[in-house]
Structure 1
Amino acid sequence: MAKSRAKRIFTYVFLSLVAFISIFPFFWMIVSATNKSVDVTKGTLLPGSALIENINKLLDSTNLIQALGNSAIISIISTVLALLIGSMAGYGFEVYRTKSRDIVFTILLMSMMIPFAAIMIPLYRMFATISSTVPAIGINTMGSVILPTITTAFLIFFFRQNTKMFPKDLLEAGRIDGLSELGIFLKIYMPTMKTTYAAAAIITFMSSWNNYLWPLIVLQTPDQQTIPLLISNLGAGYAPDYGVIMTAVVIATLPTALVFFIMQKHFVAGMVGSVK
């Protein structure tokens, strides 16, 4: 009995410690946003009274609203297109069986092994060439940020694995009822796989919202910059104001945190591959 109680106490203490370590950076970030730069550098862990001042400085010295709007547009469009293309590809790989299916899928998975740094220069040259013929998706446009992110091997793999749990009887029932293949996908598959879509949406939105390297390369004017670029510019000055930087970080974190907490149940269900 005493041994079981000691084990339980140790478990709670260990989990509490892990939780504290996980939460502390967020706590420090929020507290720092309420303090002046000098207090942040001192490591103050108590809330201050400089939050409004930091927000005013941030709004006056940067195009925060525009950066948030740019990030929102890029992230939403990227997420919608990535979910549509990734789910259609994953659905096709699992439902339609051909001799070359597994070979193509293996090659697709192998592409995940290629680091982005290896394709960065060819990708930039491709968009630089496109700029002269199709300016809407050339360098320094949102299209150049969105296009490379709408088709990912991970999303295709994720949807294919979850499609294995999809009841194939529903496909046959849809075909018997006279639905086209596109109709089956839109009216049966998509509603049934909503938890998978929710999990993929969270992953894709967060990845797009936090994307830094590629936008840094292709977005070359202040009116096109996203929120990660804005925060990077705040910290690049000779004497950065850490209170303002932390305020910007808190504001940048809120959309992704909100999306995650709203869709948390669906995210967990989607990650374990359940179909509802």
Structure 2
Amino acid sequence: MSNPLAFLGRFATYLALSIAAFISVFPFIWMAIAATNTSPDIIKGKATPGTALFDNIGTFLTSVDLPRVLFNSFFIAGVGTALTLLVSSLAGYGFEMFRSRFREKLFGGLLLMLSIPFAALMIPLFVMMANLKFINTYQAIILPTVAWVFIIFYFRQATKAFPHELRDAARIDGLKEWQIFLFVYMPVMRSTYAAATIIVFMMHWNNYLWPLIVLQTNDMFTLTLAVAALSAGYTPDFGLVMVGAIVATLPTLVIFFLLQRRFVEGMLGAVK
């Protein structure tokens, strides 16, 4: 017979985890239920499914140019993620692999930039983009995040676990440094790249403040801005907003579930 105290301990653990999971998932459940109700029912706090789902979807499709805003969002998130991973991983690789007198001082200066709030950077960044004629363009959204200090730091820390023997063996085989990076480092660090992909993609996909500042026409709006615009009136249709929120949430959920195993490995610093 098993130990009753051990059984009670496991029961308490699973109960606490179940409660925490329900609290975490409940907003998504409520969002899905709210999308089936009318705005007055949502305001009243109705928590059961309704019959207005298809009406809300139809209104959403007529209120938002969905193909256009989806293209904008996927283009910015896709290209931005690819460029950020490439540039930031190169920087992280370089900081760890190449030694110099000023390496740690330069890296420390980069880390200090993490303490600067984005609100302090908005005006100079906007002026710079205006001088480059990038206002209301994809470049204005993508370029400021290409060298993301947090991802540089993340890749440098992950690179500490990279087997240096592989780099030495590749050099003996005649590979140049860029070939080592592309054909040795990147495949070995695939878990790190998967975790970084989720983080960077979600950042680009959910980015709101900076696109709101530099994107000035409706045809350039991302899905996040389009959904926010639905709730900007005096009497917003909350059922419509919930449909938009579901559409905006699905891509990040798909990306996470596709890469979740690699994400866990990457966050734990696993190198295979």
Same fold (TM over 0.5): yes
SS at match of 1:49: coil
1:7, distance to aligned residue in structure 2 (A): 2.5
Task: Show the 5 A alignment for 1:152-191.
Answer: 152-191=148-187
Q: Which runs of 5+ in 2 are unaligned?
A: none
For 1:5 and 1:171, the matched residues in 2 are separated by 50
Compute the RMSD of aligned alpha carbons.
0.9
Give CA deviations for 1:93-146 in whole Å, capped at 9, x if unaligned: 001111110010000111000000001000001111111xxxxxx101111011
1:67, distance to aligned residue in structure 2 (A): 1.0
- TM-score normalised by L of structure 2: 0.97
Match of 1:203 in 2: 199
Match of 1:135 in 2: none
1:258, distance to aligned residue in structure 2 (A): 0.2
Match of 1:249 in 2: 245
Match of 2:71 in 1: 69
Match of 2:234 in 1: 238
1:62, distance to aligned residue in structure 2 (A): 1.7
Match of 2:107 in 1: 105
SS at match of 2:78: helix
Match of 1:33 in 2: 35
1:18, distance to aligned residue in structure 2 (A): 1.0
For 2:90 and 2:65, the matched residues in 1 are separated by 38
For 2:193 and 2:17, the matched residues in 1 are separated by 31
1:12, distance to aligned residue in structure 2 (A): 2.1
For 1:72 and 1:48, the matched residues in 2 are separated by 31
- TM-score normalised by L of structure 1: 0.96
Give CA deviations for 1:209-266 in whole Å, capped at 9, x if unaligned: 0000000000000000111111111001121100000000000000000000000000
SS at match of 1:239: coil
Match of 1:4 in 2: 6
Match of 1:148 in 2: 144
Match of 1:116 in 2: 118
For 2:211 and 2:161, the matched residues in 1 are separated by 36
1:34, distance to aligned residue in structure 2 (A): 1.3
Give CA deviations for 1:36-88 in whole Å, capped at 9, x if unaligned: 11111122222222211111101111212211110100000000000000110
Match of 1:134 in 2: none
- Pairing partner for 2:132 from 130, 133, 142: 130
Question: What amino acid maps onto 1:116 in structure 2?
Answer: F
